[in-house]
Amino acid sequence: MVAVSGDEVVGLVGMLWPDERSIEEIEVEPLIVSGSHRGKGVGSMLLDAVIKRVEGKGIKYLTVRPVMRNVKALEFFRKRGFDKVGRVELFIDYTDREWKKNLSLLDLDFEY
C-alpha cells in the first residue's frame, strides 16, 4: 500500500508472512515515510490500513522489527500498541561502529 500526496509517493507499507498458507503471524515490513512527511500522520494511516486489512482474519500476531537505534520508530510502534517483545536479535560487530550502552533486558546488559 502507498500514500500519495499530489503526484508524489510519500510513504509505503508492506506485509510479510512466513507461510502463505497460514496467516498466524504477519509482519509489517517495510513501513517507510519520506522525511518531508514524517510527523504528519502518514505512518499512522499506513499502519491503520494494515491493521484494518488483517483484523478478523484469525491471525495471532502482527509484528514489526525496527532496529534498536531507531528510537523514533520504537516510540511510534509502542504508542500504536506494539508492546510485546517476542524476539531479540544478537550479533557480534566486526566494525569500528560506536554503540550506545545501558540497554538492559532480563537483567542482562547490552549495547545497541
All structural domains of the chain: 2-85 (3.40.630.30)
Does the structure show a pLDDT above 80 at 20? no
* pLDDT > 90? residue 21: no
pLDDT above 80: residue 45: yes
Average pLDDT, rounded, for the chain: 92
State the Cα–Cα distance between residues 29 and 50, nearest whole angstrom: 11
- Specify the pLDDT at position 79: 96
Instruction: Provide the pLDDT for residue 23.
Output: 75
Q: In this structure, how many other beta carbons lie within 10 angstroms of the beta carbon of residue 12? A: 16
Mean pLDDT of 8-25: 85
For residue 12, list its beta bridge partners: 2, 32
The C-alpha atoms of residue 73 and residue 59 are separated, in whole angstroms, by 23
Residue 78 pLDDT more than 70?
A: yes
Q: How far is CA 58 from the centre of its chain?
A: 21
Residues in the chain: 112
